[in-house]
Structure 1
Amino acid sequence: MSEFVDTVLGFPTALFSFSLVVVAAYWALVLLGGLGHFHAGTDGHTGAGAGGGGHFHGDGGFHGHGAADVHGAAHGHGGHGGHGGHGGHGHDASDGSDGHEHGSGGPLAAIGLGGVPATITLSLLIALAWFASLAGSVLAGGGTPAPPLAAAVLAGALAAAWLGTRLAIVPLRRVFREEPPASLRDFVGRTCVIRTGRVGVDFGQAEVTADDGSSAIVQVRRHALDLAPDGAPGGAAVEPALTAGSTALIFDFDPDGQFFWVMPYDPTP
């Protein structure tokens, strides 16, 4: 037992022994619920590297933005009166306007260990380095090996820890892979159902369904060229009018006004 203690507290194993104690204490707090969530310290929500601002929930979930979770679309203030016809205060995730800029670099990614939260990667590195250093020190005679042997054990432990961690995180990358963020532009090309009595150049709302089956009420507008000129009998439209219950095709998105351009669509062949 004394030889084991001497080896654990000897160089180079001692470099990793104290770090291993910190790692063990950290994960003990996580398991006991002492930490509601741990900050990954990685690039993006899923940790594609190190040095970013993402965070991962301790229960295995992470923040995502669903297709229907669009603040300006689902909860936009009506575009008629007071708001100049704009669809509220939404944002287009594809334009990076949600304030989260995610890079792909970082120290861990630079050495091929990105793609998972840094806490997991560092824990594996420290644990494997400690075990390799301990095994190397024992093979070298136990305790603190002679300086040349100690340096060789340290280099071998670091190399073994890097290789072992790199192999271990390969399957984990699939678990922590971040899905592409939802974007309002994803609705372009879809059909929608008009939910207001009319759709004009300054007013209109429609219901659109996303791939996951969820629906959102979005602000829609019709181009002035599609409408009859002033003075036309009854204000008839050049193309069929869009009223409540009509099916329309979303063909463009206005990022400034946060609304969609629509046109009449006949679902029948």
Structure 2
Amino acid sequence: MGEFVDTALSFPVVVLTFALVVVVLFWLLVLFGVSDMDAIEPVDALGFGGVPATVAGSLTIAFSWFASLVVTVMLDGLDPTIVVVGGIVGLAIAVVIGLLLTRLILIPLRKVMPDAPVASRHDFVGLVCVVRTQRVDATFGQAEVTSADGSSAIVQVRQAGDDPLSAGRTAVIYDYDTAGEFFWISPVDLSTRD
């Protein structure tokens, strides 16, 4: 076991050993529910699209680490100059091998990974908005709404009632009119509590 640790802490594999430790710690956090594997959006670069970046990155680091471990074993006992030059070249080759193997593994994984839900205007129904125009009635109005992911949008809104709705008032979105492409809102007072 000591020889394995010595090799894992030798150049060039040591560069990726620390990255592999981070990957292992991350997946332990995911296992215990402290972190989320979808915390980073999928990456489309290098043919990794459709899979969370954490999965693609973890596989790349793991495959690269194993390839660089082989390079380290092959360079063991050679002249230090050869070890440095060969280690740098071998590390670059190991990373390329890691990327290629990851891409090959991700092809079948994409088929089993669930697709991200498609955003819809109906996602705003039930949310509170803030009126941004001087008035809102049955034919005119705009409001700002903040979605669950924290992004905000200015949307077209209408009101069926006669309650005065002016800039700064809060309202709740209760329906979406697909034909007119606007939301129906109703005034709500968030300052009163039972």
* C-alpha distance in structure 1 between counterparts of 2:95 and 2:176, whole Å: 57
1:114-125 alignment, distance < 5 Å: 114-125=49-60
Match of 1:245 in 2: none
What is the RMSD computed on CA atoms of the aligned residues? Answer: 3.1
Greater fraction of residues in helix: 2
Match of 1:80 in 2: none
Displacement of 1:30 after TM fit? 1.6
- 1:206-243 per-residue CA deviation (whole Å, 9 max, x = no partner) reads xxxxxxxxxxx9677xxxxxxxxxxxxxxxxxxxxxxx
Displacement of 1:129 after TM fit? 0.8
Displacement of 1:176 after TM fit? 3.4
Does structure 1 retain, via aligned residues, the 8 Å contact 2:121–2:176?
Answer: no
Displacement of 1:179 after TM fit? 5.0
- 1:24-74 per-residue CA deviation (whole Å, 9 max, x = no partner) reads 111112212333x345321xxxx2x2xxxxxxxxxxxxxxxxxxxxxxxxx
Displacement of 1:177 after TM fit? 2.6
Match of 1:255 in 2: 181
Does structure 1 retain, via aligned residues, the 8 Å contact 2:37–2:55?
Answer: no
Cα separation, partners in 2 of 1:179 and 1:7, compared to 1, 3 Å: same
Does structure 2 retain, via aligned residues, the 8 Å contact 1:20–1:130?
Answer: yes
Does structure 2 retain, via aligned residues, the 8 Å contact 1:124–1:165?
Answer: yes
Match of 2:90 in 1: 153
Displacement of 1:2 after TM fit? 4.1
Displacement of 1:122 after TM fit? 1.1
What residue identity is the alignment partner of 1:176? P
- Does residue 40 (structure 1) correspond to residue 43 (structure 2)? The answer is no
- 1:73-112 per-residue CA deviation (whole Å, 9 max, x = no partner) reads xxxxxxxxxxxxxxxxxxxxxxxxxxxxxxxxxxxx2322
Secondary structure of 2:76's counterpart equals coil
What residue identity is the alignment partner of 1:253? A
Cα separation, partners in 2 of 1:136 and 1:182, compared to 1, 3 Å: same
Cα separation, partners in 2 of 1:183 and 1:148, compared to 1, 3 Å: same
| TM-score w.r.t. length of structure 1 | 0.43
Q: Decide which of 115, 132, 140 is 1:177's aligned counterpart.
A: 115
| Unaligned runs of at least 5 residues, structure 1 | 50-108, 185-200, 204-216, 221-251, 259-269
1:126-205 alignment, distance < 5 Å: 126-141=61-76, 146-174=83-111, 175-178=113-116, 180-182=118-120
Counting aligned pairs with the same residue, the percent is: 37
Secondary structure of 1:146's counterpart equals helix
What residue identity is the alignment partner of 1:30? V
What residue identity is the alignment partner of 2:115? R
* C-alpha distance in structure 2 between counterparts of 1:173 and 1:182, whole Å: 23
* C-alpha distance in structure 1 between counterparts of 2:53 and 2:120, whole Å: 25
Does structure 2 retain, via aligned residues, the 8 Å contact 1:3–1:142?
Answer: no
* C-alpha distance in structure 2 between counterparts of 1:117 and 1:218, whole Å: 33
Cα separation, partners in 2 of 1:154 and 1:161, compared to 1, 3 Å: same
Displacement of 1:150 after TM fit? 0.7
Cα separation, partners in 2 of 1:178 and 1:34, compared to 1, 3 Å: closer
What residue identity is the alignment partner of 1:113? F
The count of corresponding residues between Structure 1 and Structure 2 is 134
Match of 2:144 in 1: none
Displacement of 1:253 after TM fit? 0.7
